[in-house]
Structure 1
Amino acid sequence: MERSPSKKTVLSNCPVSPNREKEIFHVVHKVPSGDGPYVRAKHAQLVEKDPEGAIVWFWKAINAGDRVDSALKDMAVVMKQLDRTEEAIEAIKSFRGLCSKNAQESLDNVLIDLYKKCGRVDEQIELLRQKLRMIYQGQAFNGKPTKTARSHGRKFQVSIKQETSRILGNLGWAYMQKTNYMAAEVVYKKAQMIDPDANKACNLGLCLIKQARYDDARSVLEDVLTGRVPGSDDIRARNRAEELLLDLESRQPPPGLSNLVGLHLDDEFVDGLEQIGAQWAPIRPRRLPIFEQISNFKDQLAC
């Protein structure tokens, strides 16, 4: 008895219309539909793998007013990949005024990455501090409690709490590049109070090692290895904690610290940090111990 073709076989033999083929192409290559300069830029970037050609078309899209928000951001990302970082920074600074209010936050995030890549740490720190001020003034996320973020093609929701901790972590790392380990310690501790994770714990441990506070550093790193910090099951975080502990054990405590680097945290910024974390702290004293520590040092250290 002859078997009738399955539904799947019948569907596979059906001709696909040209419009349907275009739809499938756009989905597979993640290229928007249309024929404007922005679409051509994305086609050059994602399909033809021609980043230089993509930049030319992104410029044309910006000049033509075609999806300027996305064109400027995407062009800066491509420029970063080509090590044209300084050019990307100048492009964002020059043309972000053409972009909508909703695009400014994502442009700031791209700008921070660009500053980090080319070693412009002071500008990175200032922009991170500016983003924190926006949070404690209620201006972040356009006043909403969450925002939609995208990573590796997937969308997910980010809360103000998570964003605050992320920015503090980036600020702590920037302070470390300036060898301002005391300021880095302050913001890492605040980040851990808000939304702790193993990666920031390792960075905090490194800050403490740099200040020769070996017992404190050991306690923080052992919390990672014993699983008392969220994310401790990440093998990379555990390996890093182990490496830092080995480094710590190889060091001899010096007779005393000298040439302490100033915190360089003004009173307004310290008060802002206190405000943005107060609602998430398990206990809410009038002034957190971490900031009492800052106050004690402020008169002694150069800012």
Structure 2
Amino acid sequence: MEGSSRQISRGKKEKDMYHVVHKVPCGDSPYVKAKHAQLIEKDPEVAIVLFWKAINAGDRVDSALKDMAVVMKQLDRTEEAIEAIKSFRVLCSKQAQESLDNVLIDLYKKCGKIEEQIDLLKRKLRLIFQGAAFNGKPTKTARSHGKKFQVSVKQETSRLLGNLGWAYMQKSNFMMAEVVYQKAQMIDCDANKACNLALCLIKQDRYDEAYSVIQDVVQGRLPGSDDCKARKRAQELVVELTSRQPSPEWTDPVGLDDDFVKGLEQLMNEMGPFRSKRLPIFEEISPFRDQLAC
């Protein structure tokens, strides 16, 4: 009897460990089956069908709708995912609306719906300014690559502004994108947004300002500057800056100061065009050059 209980206990632990390792919930509900199809069987089409069943059955609707949209995005069924969120988000809790908005922003970006992306980003920023974001809390729990971490309102504001700046760049509205990126950097600066800001300035032919911004990344003065992708992009922007800047008409290889150069140019202008300085005698004998040669 005791051995049987021990085997049951061991079996339960192994089952629990299986769910922890594979990050799937326990049970046999439609949502659990959908997650199993998505993560274990790697069958996204079956997973979508099961997510639909979970939504219709009222089984973990918040997670089912969001997860289904993510799987649809992976299958390039982006438009369908957008319509699903718009149609069924009314069934979800108030707490789920913010994460659904974030999924929508990614979907809009994926299928090139820039105007819709801008409108949604502005609405989310307006909620932050009104103190309605994070359900009134100063931080929220976010998840990335299976890990949970805390995000502050300040960080979220900067992130949304960065996304908004990128959206404006896709519309080639570099002036508006510059303004947005400047605001984002004032709130919570990082190397990636600095590179985007520099690109906005380059597109407006403001090379000196762009170079100054890029130097903050190259010199490692911003968070994220040590990231290899950020450094590579900064170096590419420096190369682009070098190629775009006009070459100087005159260089100063011997280190002459600016005042001297200006004075020299003024003197040359006053002297007028260069004239031959041959002595008169050579002018006088030039008509007889041919005769002298004989």
TM category, shorter: 0.7 to 0.9
Q: Deviations over 1:75-108 (max 9, x none)?
A: 0000000000000000000000000000000000
- 3-state DSSP of counterpart to 2:148: strand
Corresponding residue to 2:171 among 153, 175, 178: 178
Q: Which residue of 2 aligns with 1:246?
A: 239
Number of residue pairs the alignment of both structures matches: 242
Structure 2 Cα separation of the partners of residues 24 and 246 of structure 1:
52
TM-superposition CA deviations, 1:229-283 (whole Å, max 9, x none) = 1221112111111100101110145xxxxxxxxxxxxxxxxxxxxxxxxxxxxxx
Supply the distance in 2 between the matched residues of 1:246 and 1:28 (Cα, whole angstroms): 46
Task: Output the CA distance in 1 between the equivalents of 2:227 and 2:17.
Answer: 37
Equivalent residue number for residue 237 of structure 1: 230
Residue by residue, what CA displacement relative to the aligned partner does 1:147-200 show, whole Å, maximum 9, x if unpaired?
000011110000000000000000000000000001100010000000000000
Distance 1:228 1:150 in 2: 27
Offset at residue 25 of structure 1 (A): 1.2
**Segment of structure 1 superposing worse, 81-90 or 233-242:** 233-242
Whole-angstrom CA distance in 2 between matches of 1:176 and 1:135: 23
- How far apart are the structure 2 equivalents of 1:21 and 1:37? 23
Shift of residue 18, structure 1, vs aligned partner: 2.7
CA RMSD of aligned residues (A): 1.5
Matched, 1:75 2:59: no
* CA-to-aligned-CA distance 1:34-65 (integer Å, 9 cap, x gap): 11100000000001110000000000000000
> Does the Cα contact within 8 Å between 2:207 and 2:245 map onto a contact in 1?
no
The offset of 1:20, in angstroms, is 2.1
Matched, 1:167 2:153: no
User: 1: distance between equivalents of 2:146 and 2:233?
Assistant: 28
Q: Which moved more, 1:151-160 or 1:225-234?
A: 225-234
CA offset digits 1:188-220 (Å, max 9, x no partner): 000000000000000000000011100100000
Larger relative contact order (Cα-Cα within 8 Å, sequence gap ≥ 6)? 1
For 1:45 and 1:227, how far apart are their aligned partners in 2?
41
In the alignment, which of 42, 48, 51 is matched to residue 55 of structure 1? 48
Whole-Å separation in 2 of the counterparts to 1:239 and 1:216: 19
**What TM-score, normalized by structure 1, do the two folds share?**
0.78
Number of the residue aligned with 2:209:
216
Letter in 1 for 2:59: D
How far off its partner does 1:19 sit? 2.0
Aligned to 2:285: none
Matched, 1:137 2:130: yes
Work out the CA distance in 1 between the residues paired with 2:146 and 2:232.
Answer: 28
Amino acid at match of 2:77: R
Counterparts of 2:21 and 2:201 in 1: how far apart (Å)?
A: 48
Amino acid at match of 1:237: A
Task: Compare the two structures and name the one with the higher helix fraction.
Answer: 2
5+ long unaligned stretches in structure 1: 1-13, 254-303
| Distance change (3 Å), C-alpha of 1:15 and 1:58 | closer
TM-score of the pair, normalised by structure 2: 0.80
Partners of 1:200 and 1:17 in 2: CA distance:
51
Q: Corresponding residue for 2:4?
A: none
* Map of 1:39 onto structure 2: 32
SS in 1 for 2:140: strand
Q: Distance in 2 between matches of 1:216 and 1:209?
A: 8
Matched residue type, 1:219: S
User: What is the deviation of 1:15?
Assistant: 8.4
Q: Distance in 1 between matches of 2:24 and 2:238?
A: 47
For structure 2, which runs of at least 5 residues remain unmatched after alignment?
1-6, 247-294
User: Partners in 1 of 2:160 and 2:226 — Cα distance?
Assistant: 23
Give the counterpart letter for 1:36 in structure 2. S
Q: Equivalent residue for 2:145?
A: 152
